[in-house]
Amino acid sequence: DWGWRVSERRLAIDEVIAAGESGALQESFGTGTAAVISPVGEFCYRDKHIQINGGQVGERARRLYDELQAIQFGHREAPHNWRVSVG
């Protein structure tokens, strides 16, 4: 809905390191039920240390976190009717 191109696939660590070194890697975060959004500030692999977005939370991660929190707490309607009340 926000115009983002999204894909879900396996990434080789070499691809992540190359994207970090070239500057193509702008943000990285994990998501889950308990953590909501957990930004990744740095990838370390062997002798490589790739800092992402200056170690700061990125714009996309912040926006997604805020949106999910608003939906979870009932301040905003869930898109596509994917929120279900339990209990």
How do the pLDDT tens digits run along the chain, 87 residues long?
A: 799 988 889 999 999 999 999 999 999 999 887 888 999 999 999 999 999 999 999 999 999 999 999 988 889 988 888 877 787
Task: Assess if residue 3 is contained within a domain.
Answer: no
Residue 7 is predicted with a pLDDT of 85
Measured distance CA(73)–CA(76) in Å, rounded: 8
Domain residue limits at 71: 13-79
Looking at the 3D structure of the chain, how many domains does it have? 1
Residue 6 is predicted with a pLDDT of 86
Task: Assess if residue 70 is contained within a domain.
Answer: yes
Measured distance CA(51)–CA(44) in Å, rounded: 9
Task: Assess if residue 35 is contained within a domain.
Answer: yes
CATH number at residue 68: 3.20.10.10
Residue 85 is predicted with a pLDDT of 77
